[in-house]
Structure 1
């Protein structure tokens, strides 16, 4: 009897059948979503984010990139770290207030205050009487306590907004007298004269780029003058044959003097003798001081207005004040910054160079033991954030091969350093000591990738 053998499988059809078998073994979406890890993630990230990760993992399985039984693991790996696209980083640039990294990091007290204020609060309610209360009353009291020379205070959403509100409320259709040497660009292409003119005020420029005298201001002041504006050129310096009158000289001219100190320093700082502060300017005769809250003050982004009660009253009642007001989270963070313990900014500014060197040497020794090309080096840090131009702070850093810079930025815990002389420097001035272990682990992870 003739024996018949089974036909050889069609070479073209066999892969399709194998592919079909793989697709049949890909778990259903609802089955994958029952994985305990994804159930927990759904509570943290939301169902939509988790389903999206599952669908992408299933597609990878269909394409043969991962086996069907790895769909759940792949989905977990594809989950975003948080519902926000912002990623926490370690600032090892040596710039204490790095604008691209969000300037001042909030203190632990401020972060806790934000968490507590995230739900319903008494932001505009007097709990004792049950009637409406002034918004931000406790933080405004804290701000006045921090700057006793200010009779009143007001808050807006950033430093530029403080100048806009002052110009709009006090100088629409009138003149603002300002030195030509203070018509600055404040970053990202925004120029102060354009900002002021956009409010409907007119600028009366006096003096020259490098020299302006009190007489120049006096000659320009007239019936159309709303106020004299003095701006601290915080992100550059002009040296040599220069002159600028002090606030006291300008206050004697008989019109309000508005001083934009920029960096938010409330009182003199021993390490920053050239940086203007709110207390000194008000004591010298300034009618109004404007500043940012997320720079040397070490708080959240906001704009501070400090000064005469009548002027602050006019600003706070202006219709634009409502559009520029800060939210309850900012109020909470700023109050905790003013009344709580030292901020990370203050600690970074006051860090002991010898201690920084010790930390760098200890980290370098640990990493060298793992075979990493690293050494501790002395370096210089800067204040940043448009404050204290030209001021350098003695610091210490880890020096690594240049290739580490990109790898650290894109790692699981992003670390941002700087390149100098063909090496990647991780400056410790703005890195809190408790983050040393995380920093070391991030460096080690580069070799494992």
Structure 2
């Protein structure tokens, strides 16, 4: 066979073998961070690309080295939120406080989750998180923590209806909420076999509507805060206090889902319902999420009367919905910390935001414009939060999202708007550096 025959001249024969690539010092070192199967997959993918002619054989070794050095065990990427939306569901809702992050690190090892270190015996799960929750809500007799808000609602409606021996819950048609990704609360409630008695109309529901729907099959009354929309014009609804009176007359439990997890009234959001007020108005069980205005981890919070909470804690679904050690640790730390990133962003100083924005804008010969932020995440629906944004050409948006650090701006009316409300001030220099790279054409 001649030396230039297809068999010997095929460039694919020059592709380094798997064994040779696995022996590279950089690949061996990467084995301290990445599992063996992950490294092998990176290598075989690059070899396959070279066999298809997409990569020259002499580029395989540097490409493998680059791949093992840049690949992380998790595909999640840290993102700087420059949208002006504080609780951004697509970005994981509430960013955690330093205290909560440290608690997660501690919880990553062995912890006294269900152990009393004093006597060495088994204890109840989440005791300290529950105590911190009750300290924030002194009007509650008891509390229960589950893995998310949907679980809390499902447990409350199912557990209390079953506890009454009847499978029906009464709810206003104006509160048949659909949240993100097509998730509908009525579907959740009925998924466990509980029936839903809808009363009133979309825009108007009266106390008599509820009273007329109560029958021998009614297990509970339910009020849900329509947290991601509002109804204006000709409308009326029944207050928690009015429903509590009716529930007491009918010997029925009242469940109130306030949604966003605000414990007490905040001047920035004066119309947002609170856990404390719902309890004082007579709700037997109040439901809220942990990763919204509370600023903690994803969790479902149930607070209220000891009788109702003990029934729910004993229900089989409570085990299926129970929170893990990371949720409990982060929630306790959130409740005991002096502040959260969500609170700080909600109450950010407008003059300081303007000064930060102006510094970046002047460095880029850009403009600072007024920009209305939002709470997001089903809180403060329709409430604008006055602020500022650096206005840039729209072509900045894609490299901002895909660069390092990843920065998510808002794109509107053909412009890229950079709102620093949720961006830590310590990150301003990195943001400016990235913007300069984009302006100079460095991808």
How high is the TM-score relative to the length of structure 2? 0.91
Q: Deviations over 1:272-307 (max 9, x none)?
A: 111111011101111110011111111111100000
Larger Cα-atom Rg: 1
Match of 1:327 among 303, 324, 329: 324
Q: Say if 1:42 and 1:49, in contact at 8 Å, map to a contact too.
A: no
Corresponding residue for 1:300? 297
Measured against aligned partners, the alpha-carbon deviations of 1:90-134 in whole angstroms (never above 9, x if no partner) come to: 111111111111111111211111111011111111111111100
Task: Report the equivalent of 1:6.
Answer: none
Tell me, yes or no, if structure 1 residue 187 matches structure 2 residue 180.
yes
Q: How many residues align?
A: 432
Which is further off, 342-351 or 250-259? 250-259
SS at match of 2:179: strand
- Write out per-residue CA displacement over residues 181-220 of structure 1, whole angstroms, 9 at most, x where no aligned residue: 1111122112222221222222222222212222322333
Q: CA deviation at 1:399?
A: 1.5
Partners of 2:47 and 2:175 lie apart in 1 by: 60
* C-alpha deviation, 1:19, in angstroms: 4.6
Structure 1 residue 39 displacement after superposition: 3.1
Instruction: Structure 2: state its 5+ residue gaps.
Output: none
Residues 68, 131 of structure 1: alpha-carbon distance in 2 compared, 3 angstrom cutoff? same
Q: 1:204 to 1:68 in 2, by over 3 A?
A: closer
Shift of the 281–358 alpha-carbon distance from structure 1 to 2, 3 Å rule, reads same
**Which residue of structure 1 aligns with residue 232 of structure 2?**
239
Contact 1:357 / 1:378 at 8 angstroms: preserved in 2?
Answer: no
Tell me how far apart the structure 1 counterparts of residues 231 and 53 of structure 2 sit (CA, whole Å): 63
Aligned equivalents of 2:133, 2:344: Cα separation in 1: 21
Deviating more after overlay: 437-446 vs 248-257: 437-446
Partners of 1:356 and 1:442 in 2: CA distance: 19
Question: Using a 3 Å threshold, how does the CA distance of structure 1 residues 441 and 59 change in structure 2: closer, same or farther?
Answer: farther
1:350 to partner: Cα distance: 0.8
2:41 counterpart residue number: 52
Could you tell me how far apart the structure 2 residues matched to 1:174 and 1:211 are?
25
Correspondence for 1:448: 442
Farther off after superposition, 260-269 or 240-249: 240-249
1:73 positional shift: 2.8
Residue 317 of structure 1 is matched in structure 2 by: 314
After the TM superposition, which residues 145-184 of structure 1 pair with which residues of structure 2 at under 5 Å, given as runs? Answer: 145-172=135-162, 173-184=166-177
**Residue in 1 that maps onto 2:395:** 403
**RMSD, aligned CA:** 2.2
Aligned to 1:379: 371
Which ranges of structure 1 fall in alignment gaps of 5 or more residues?
A: 1-8, 369-373
Would the aligned equivalents of 1:409 and 1:415 in 2 still touch at CA under 8 Å?
A: yes
User: Would the aligned equivalents of 1:348 and 1:429 in 2 still touch at CA under 8 Å?
Assistant: yes
Alignment CA distance shift 1:65-1:269 (3 Å):
same
| TM-score (structure 1 length as normaliser) | 0.90
2:284 to 264, 273, 287: 287
Match of 1:365 in 2: 362
